[in-house]
Amino acid sequence: MDILEKENMLRLIAFFISIYLLTQGLTFADDKSMSFFKVEDQEDDCKGCIKEGSIQSIGLKKKVEEIEKETSGSFTRQDEERNNEVILFVDSESPFSDAAVNTLARFKQDHPTWQCKGVMITGLRNLKEKLLQKRSYFTSDIEFSIDINGEEAREFGITTTPSYVVIYHGRKYKIAGQPHLDEIILRFNK
């Protein structure tokens, strides 16, 4: 026998041994006497378990109902708050605009579920210089838009700046000046 025949014989023997070991492993896994594969008698051990979607323990059932009530209430409150919005209208030349933007930025930090937007009312004259002077508005974590010639302000009926439009539970409220937004919203709840 030469070397090639010996190598082929060794490969053939290794193949048969691996097949034998694999089939022995499969029959080992199918063996019904192995305790970790047993399925019988499981139902007898689970008398206190949840069966078919029902809860056996009355105390457990009450706890589950309480948790469901609490979580559903918090989700609906969050959904209601997400629909709430504050829109701030500022004039690029008003000395009170900076304070109003800071007030809205603090409000947004305290109430992250509220949508907060800003609208800067300005004309086309010296627009570049006005935007450069008020660039802090656009970096204040509030989405700002520019209202050329006050078209959007007229749409909301804004005549003075700074003014807030608060959309709370589907109703719109216009507030002029420098209010404390948290106090205003508490008044809406009453």
Superfamily of structural domain 81-189: Glutaredoxin (3.40.30.10)
Render 44-95 in DSSP notation, one character per residue: HHTTTS-BTTB---HHHHHHHHHHHHHHHHHHHHHHHHHT-EEEEEEETT-T
User: Is the overall model pTM greater than 0.75, yes or no?
Assistant: no
2-58 residue pLDDT tens:
666 777 888 888 888 878 777 776 554 445 554 444 555 555 555 555 554 555 677
Helix (H, G, I), strand (E, B) or coil at 145: strand
CA 82 to chain centre: 11
**Coil, helix or strand at residue 93:** coil
Low-confidence ranges of the chain (pLDDT < 70): 1-4, 25-56, 71-82, 190
